[in-house]
Amino acid sequence: MNGQNVRWGILGPGGIASTFAADLPLVPGAELAAVGSRSAATAEAFARKHGFARAHGSYADLAADDGVDVVYVATPHAFHLEGAMLCVEAGKAVLVEKPITLDLPSAAQLVQAARTRGVFLMEAMWMRLNPAIRKIAELVAGGAIGSISAIHADFGLQGPFAASHRLRDPALGGGALLDLGVYPIHLTHLILGVPATAHAWAHLTPEGVDENTGVLLGYASGAVAALTCSINGASKNTASITGTDGRIDLPEGFMVPRSFVLNRPGRAPETFELPFEGSGYQFEAAEVQRCLLAGELESPLMSHDTTLEVMNLLDTLREQVGVVY
């Protein structure tokens, strides 16, 4: 690191990396240091577009760049482990796009490698770092809506997607659950933790990935969560958290909210506005930088345990619906 500045590298300059890179200048102290791709031309074009200082024609060269402090791994799901492990073994801090890997064993392998080498690692579940989501968690923890009884959330994209699209290609970790279902599941985990029971049903594509999935989670407290995700229809993409003393409603695009409504009996609905610039990726980047500058190896807001608990749940659900990678 250079003083209070943190030097960023990006591994896998695709669409999500482009959005992340566009938000990085919103983070004080973020330096756009280097980009790594399997194609030198692709890396150079990305670096020019977003203002990165250097471009590398291989992931290994990026991992070996002494002018990079932390690497954002933005390849498709199936290649997260390979790219992240390369960086961890080179001693680089790593922010890995969600889901961190395809399954619990590989996620645990990556976490253990980071801990053994003493380098920072975080899964890029940006929703949990969003200001509105953090405010909701604070309100719930403070008893604003009483004891939680139910969570409802859905995330569906309008299809159809071609069989070769990453959302349908099993070789790329395709399917609704790992790409979209992680948002309803992470919201539920943030509020209620690990469920006592988990049940899922899904309709699979001819390629064998889930295209329309329902999940029902049960908790020892008596709370339930009813969650859906799909790649064959645009749902409302909203969420609600119901408690014994009220309800919090998240609007369309609940995974990146700029507002929410607190409803309580006998009171007027209270709208919380938490606007921000950009697409919302700057908050996870800022948390990474805070941790690095403080010498922390994981974030309390998106811990290793959280990553492993959610991945364990995803494995359970995926086994129930019959999706195999």
**Catalytic residue ranges:** 98
Q: Which helix (H) or strand (E) holds 73?
A: strand 70-73
Alpha-carbon distance 291 to 300, whole Å? 9
Give the residues across from 243 on adjacent strands: 148, 246
Task: For residue 274, report the phi and psi dihedrals to the nearest 5 degrees.
Answer: -130, 70
Residue 289 CB partners (closer than 8 Å, separation 6+)? 6, 27, 29, 30, 70
For residue 190, how many other CB atoms are within 10 A of its CB? 22
Fill in the DSSP letter of residue 299: B
Alpha-carbon distance 87 to 95, whole Å? 10
For residue 109, how many other CB atoms are within 10 A of its CB? 14
Instruction: Report strand pairing: 270-273 vs 259-263.
Output: antiparallel
Residues 80/73, Cβ–Cβ less than 8 Å: yes
Alpha-carbon distance 319 to 144, whole Å? 37
Residues 107/115, Cβ–Cβ less than 8 Å: no
Alpha-carbon distance 230 to 213, whole Å? 6
The CA–CA distances, whole Å, from 121 to 87, 112, 131, 217, 219 equal 10, 10, 21, 28, 29
Alpha-carbon distance 266 to 263, whole Å? 9
Residues 93/70, Cβ–Cβ less than 8 Å: yes
Q: Using only the alpha carbons of the chain, give its radius of gyration.
A: 20
